[in-house]
Amino acid sequence: MAGYGKVATAAMLPILSYMGLPVYNLPTALVSNTLDYGKFNILDTTDYITGVFPVWKELGFSFDAIATGFIASERQAGIVSKYCLEQAAQGTTIFVDPIMGDEGKLYNGVTPSAIRSMREMIAVAHLTYPNYTEACYLTDTAYKPEGVSRDEAFALLDQLRDIGARSVLITSIRVDRQTTVVGYNHHKNEYFILPYTEIPVHFPGTGDIFSAILVGNLLKGTPLRLSTRIAMDVVARLIDLNKDNVDKNRGIPIENYLSDVL
């Protein structure tokens, strides 16, 4: 949860709520502002989380789905992944967005130990959706700025499945010189490639918007491939509508565009 900027939980909650889903949250970290400003203060909430799960269990809380994002430490990853595994055994769907980096490098404040943490999270995921950079870190694969072939993209999906995820997407991956999202749907044993035109503008939080729209559509029963396409198209539209914003480090002011997410 960022205090300044529409990213992470602050971006996802309005979207999922607007889509008609009851949403609850558990911050894995409190951050002063989006990391794009270069300077920030962060509080790891692992100690808080260790006190939350016993209370939730005692009260009998259960969830149709859990969507995880930034994980602050290896210790936290162990605690959260164990809880997700317990909930999955009771029928909860687990979505994992392994937030670590982009454009071939880790984000500010993200350490190499985060890679081990995210592998632990992916091992319990029904669906995970790293970007190309994160997929490379997770599978110890060389990052290729020029992109990959179709076969290499599908092999990368399989490597992520080997970690434990059932269905997988890789976003922002250039396949045969075309920017795409590639995916594998374990329900249909189907691979797919969805091309898109990249808009040369950077906003933090667009991955979180993508995640919320993707999860919201999946929970409404929309198939994975179509849910992915919808999320891609909405994110592109929101970037285009906000491309002239002066301070892009704040992220997209999502509350102003909720009617565009459906």
pLDDT tens sequence across 65-93: 999 999 999 999 999 999 999 999 999 99
Residue 125: pLDDT over 90: yes
- Residue 58: C-alpha distances to residues 52, 61, 87, 89 (Å): 10, 8, 14, 17
- Angle (CA) 134-151-236 rounded to 5° is 50
Structure tokens at 105: 């490098």
Structure tokens at 96: 């994992």
In whole angstroms, what is the distance from residue 75 CA to residue 129 CA? 22
Confidence band, pLDDT 50/70/90 cuts, at residue 142: very high
pLDDT tens sequence across 243-261: 999 999 999 999 999 999 9
**3-class secondary structure, 234:** helix
Contact 72, 44 (CB under 8 A): yes
H/E stretch holding 261 reads: none
Provide the pLDDT for residue 226: 98
Structure tokens at 99: 């937030």
Structure tokens at 79: 């605690």
Contact 113, 70 (CB under 8 A): no
pLDDT tens sequence across 166-214: 999 999 999 999 999 999 999 999 999 999 999 999 999 999 999 999 9
pLDDT tens sequence across 21-32: 999 999 999 999
In whole angstroms, what is the distance from residue 137 CA to residue 142 CA? 8
- Residue 13: C-alpha distances to residues 1, 23, 114, 258 (Å): 11, 7, 24, 11
Place of tokens 């599908």: 154
Give me the helices (H) in 60-107, please.
74-88
